[in-house]
Amino acid sequence: MAAEFLVKLYEYSPVFYICVISVCFIITTTALLGYGFGFGIPVILQSIDEAESFSPVPEKKMVQVTNPFALEMGTTAGTVADGVGLRPYCLEDCVLTCFWGCGVQALQAVLQKHQHRTRLSTPRSFQEALQFHYLHCQTFHVQKEERDECFTELPADVGVWDFGPLPRDRYPLVAVLTLANAEHRDSYNIVASVTVLHVPDDKYRLSARILSQYLHTTQGNTYDLKPLFMSTDSGEQSGSSTADTGPQTKPPEEEAEEPEKEEEEPGAPGRDCVVCQNAPVNRVLLPCRHTCICDGCVTRFQHCPMCRAFVVESFALANQTLPEGESEE
């Protein structure tokens, strides 16, 4: 009987279509506005961060280690033919050794050798570890806390004006910083800094820049320095290099702040949290390495506000105390 009624309703009346559309509308409205029927706000109406706010981002435990080395590109525009300027800065007297045309495989072997057996902490130990797989070596003595620019170049008698097409088997330039005095090597956990640089030539004209940086420790660990990505209004801090100085049992991919970078005062222009726009930026999100959020807002997000990547963990740039009367949620 019911089936016959529906068939007649379908054949002779538009009420059937109206009923079907009404039922679909009610079901859709119920699913979207479930809280009106006592089911609570459905997940599809909640943002990802609100839905997962009950699970705070884990905090990575970091250890602050003094890095006595810093190296950046100088003001002199560099090419393989004309040379390049480097600007080292060291907390103690150190030696800057520049290896032109260093073999890629030879350098990787050196990094592995430091981790397994040999402790590379002097220019001579690096030369022997490289087994002279480089075209030219030039050494500079850098005085404590001086910022003089060192100019290094590949001699013309070497007869090399470019390093061929990509992929290459040699790095254009590798700069190694080591402590000059033996007694200072016992005072610092970091004993050497290795910087791989690209220098343009006729075959590859990409501007001179730092490709990668590594730190050697007295325990035989090698840490990879990686950049922190900050908002564009944060001036010179944007893209600044950071060193991995976590506990020695952690892998080299971990990041921590570089001690020679001076910390801006809280509330300085361009350092406000991108979420609340009130507190200073003090949190680095991993693995995307965006530095854009304060200590209070980091507990409210599971995804980076800048790139929307999932946040596995975070660490603080500096220990900050909350004003009296305020507590961290």
Q: What is the pLDDT of residues 196-214, one digit of tens each?
A: 999 999 888 888 999 999 9
Q: What is the pLDDT of residues 28-70, one digit of tens each?
A: 877 666 544 445 545 444 444 444 445 777 888 888 888 999 9
C-alpha to C-alpha distance for 60 and 286, rounded to whole angstroms: 9
Helix ranges, the chain (H) = 2-12, 15-32, 48-51, 104-116, 123-130, 182-185
Can you give the pLDDT at residue 192?
A: 93
Q: Which of 118, 260, 92 is nearest to 180 (CA)?
A: 92
Longest CA pairwise span in the chain (Å): 104
pLDDT at 227 over 70: yes
- Output the six-digit token pair for 60: 């990575």
Percent of the chain residues topping a pLDDT of 70: 70
49-63+225-320 topology per CATH: Herpes Virus-1 (3.30.40)
| Count of H-run helices and E-run strands, the chain | 6, 14
List all residues 6 or more positions away from 307 whose beta carbon is below 8 Å from its beta carbon: 288, 290
Domain segments of the chain as ranges: 2-37, 49-63+225-320, 69-220
Enter the pTM of the model: 0.68
C-alpha to C-alpha distance for 14 and 263, rounded to whole angstroms: 73
**Any idea which of 97-101, 200-204, 291-295, 317-321 has the lowest mean pLDDT?**
317-321
List all residues 6 or more positions away from 148 whose beta carbon is below 8 Å from its beta carbon: 87, 142
Can you give the pLDDT at residue 250?
A: 37
Phi and psi, residue 303, nearest 5°:
-130, 145
Can you give the pLDDT at residue 183?
A: 86
- For the CA atoms of 71, 77, 80, 83, what is the dihedral angle to 10 degrees? -70
How far, CA to CA in Å, does 174 sit from each of 31, 121, 156, 202, 209?
62, 15, 19, 19, 12
Mean pLDDT, range 158-184, rounded to an integer: 91
Q: Which of 218, 201, 213, 225 is nearest to 107 (CA)?
A: 213
- Output the six-digit token pair for 98: 């520049």
Residues of the chain by 3-state class (helix, strand, coil), percent to 5:
25, 30, 50
**Averaged pLDDT score across all residues of the chain:** 78
Please state whether beta strands 69-73 and 84-90 pair in parallel, antiparallel, or not at all (unpaired): antiparallel
C-alpha to C-alpha distance for 248 and 12, rounded to whole angstroms: 81
Return the exposure string of 80-89: e unless at least 16 CB atoms fall within 10 Å of the residue's CB, then b.
Answer: beebbbbbbb
Helix ranges, 173-245 (H) = 182-185
